[in-house]
Structures are given as C-alpha cells and as structure tokens.
Amino acid sequence: TLRLAATAALHGTLRGEPPPAFTVTARDHASGAHRSERFAGGRSFVLDELPPGTYELTVASDHGHTRVPQLSLAAGQERTLELELDPRGTLRGTLVDLETGEPLAGLLVVGGAYQGPMRARGDRKHSDAQGRFELPELPLGDVQLHIRPNDAHADYPPAWVTVRFEEPDQELEPIALARGLPLDAEVGALGLTLTEVPLGAPPREHRLTIAAVQAGGPADAAGLQVGDEIVSVDGHDVTGDDRHLYGPLTRVPPGTSLTLGVRGGDEHTLIAGPAER
C-alpha cells in the first residue's frame, strides 16, 4: 500500500493596499525544503503541500517586504497568517565633487536601513557618467548609504551618508563628496575630541559636539570650548545629511589653516598642529 506523507499548508492575507504582484518564499533551513510562488491581482496567497518543519517566510514586492523568521508547521496542519508589508521604494541621487560640482562616475553606492544590513540592489550599483545612482527596494525611513571610490577617484575617502527616505520614488538632493588625504599621509592634530554618538540614536540627533579640548593645542588657541557644536568647516555645512564631510575636510596636513563655525554663528580659525604619533 502506497502511503503519502502528510503535508501542511499556509494561507496568508496582506493588510493594507495590496501591491500589483508579490512573491512568497518559504524555506526550511534544516531540511532544505524550499517553496517560492508569485501572486498577482489580490492580497491572499496559499502555499500547500509543504513538508512539516520550521520555515522562514518572506513576502517581497517592489512596494514592500516582510519576513517571519520562524514558522512551525506540523503534518496535516493548515496555518493562517495576516501580514503587513514594510513599505519600500526606489531612491535616486547624484554624486558630485564638493568644490567643483562636477559629477563623480563609477563610485559604488550601497544602501540599507539605518543600522541595518547593507545591500547593493539593481543594475545601477555604480554612479553613471552623470554621477547618478539608483537603489530599488529600499525600506522607507532613515537610510544609510555607503559610498566607495574607484581607482579613478581614489582621493575620495569612503563616505557614510544618512538620508531620510519618505516617498516610494524619491530623488535626493545632490550628495557632495570631498577629497581627502591618503591613508598613509601625515595628518595635523586639531587638539579636540568630539562626543561619541549614543548607540541607536536617530541620525537627526547626531551632533559634532566638542567633548574635550587639549590645553594649549590648536583648538584651545582658536578659542573653541567644550560643548561647542561644529556646524561648518571652511564655510561648508557639516550638519544633517552633510555630516559626512567633516572627516575629509578636517583631515589635513600639519600647518593647514581651518575655520570651524559653531552653532550660534561664531567662527574660529585654527592651524593644524604636528601629526600625532
């Protein structure tokens, strides 16, 4: 007598406005069982004839994504789920040189949720000849971009840029990148230390606040004080989405003059000291 092994089934419904199409994937990492099906024209889905096991379930579309890390199915069981997609969209932008405004081509751009995993998605992972890039299927909210130079632009250091992604199809203001010193170059000391950003703090709360000033050092001689918040370097804004510019703009050779603007309007000009050993 032929006996068929009892299987399980999964029935699901998506809350909210359904996407035009979505893909449901169930994967049992222990047994290797895997099932993926595409659904269109509705909000419901069914995966039947699944072997018993513990599955990871993902639902993905161009407009949203969700994941259930562990879902146990027993032989003969039919489970019903109601899920909501985390909204996603396409983020576009342009990379330009801070000083000239010229587009920067060939730089790798990787994106992901702030403090989440980073992934390069789509065909346009590198900026094109006009400096443009496109990242599809990114989660809405605070998004972190990691921008890495190519050989032609090796004088631009890697940059971490955090932006607010609010619309499913959004164009960012041009992202300016500043040239920096080589990694093995001598870097002049500024004589100041910035406060550390608390773990998990939202990006809009990040501040370039001075935590310590070296007595008799360049910052001290320029009149900078503990608690001052640096908002500009040589006239370039280093707050908000431009905070990534602070590093390359202040990583300068010994003897270089820098003008640091602080919140409240004051400006302090210092001369970078000898390189720290």
pLDDT tens digit sequence for 60-95: 887 788 889 899 999 999 999 999 888 888 899 999
Residues 154, 204 within the same domain: no
Q: Tell whether 2 is covered by a domain.
A: no
Span 177-213, pLDDT tens digits: 999 888 888 999 999 999 987 766 777 778 999 999 9
Question: Of the candidates 177, 204, 231, which is a domain's last residue?
Answer: 177
222 and 167 inside one domain: no
267 beta partners: 261
Domain that holds residue 242: 188-275
Same domain assignment for residues 107 and 80: no
Residues 236, 264: one domain? yes
* Same domain membership, residue 71 and residue 111: no
Does some domain include residue 99? Answer: yes
The C-alpha atoms of residue 177 and residue 225 are separated, in whole angstroms, by 28
How far CA 88 is from CA of 22, 68, 69, in Å, comes to 13, 17, 19
Distance CA 217, CA 261 (A): 18
Examine residue 183 and state whether it is found in any structural domain, yes or no.
Answer: no
Instruction: Tell whether 159 and 237 lie within a shared domain.
Output: no
Task: Find residue 78's DSSP bridge partners.
Answer: 9
Tell me what pLDDT residue 277 has. Answer: 65
DSSP state of 246: H
Same domain, 207 and 169: no
Write the CATH number for 213. Answer: 2.30.42.10
**Final residue of a structural domain among 177, 206, 234:** 177
Residue range 249-263, pLDDT digits in tens: 999 999 999 999 999
1, part of any domain? no
Q: Is residue 2's pLDDT more than 50?
A: no
d(CA 203, CA 208): 12
Residue positions counted in the chain = 277
Same domain? 155 vs 77: no
Determine, yes or no, domain membership for 44.
Answer: yes
Same domain, yes or no, for 152 and 220? Answer: no
State how far the Cα of 219 lies from the Cα of 191, in Å rounded to an integer: 5
Average pLDDT of the segment spanning 96-101: 96
Check whether residue 173 and residue 158 sit in a common domain. yes
For 154, which DSSP code?
T
- Are 57 and 95 within one domain? no
Residue 139 belongs to some domain of the structure: yes
Closest among 157, 200, 198, 203 to 177, alpha carbons compared: 157
- What's the structural domain count of the chain? 3
What's residue 116's pLDDT?
66
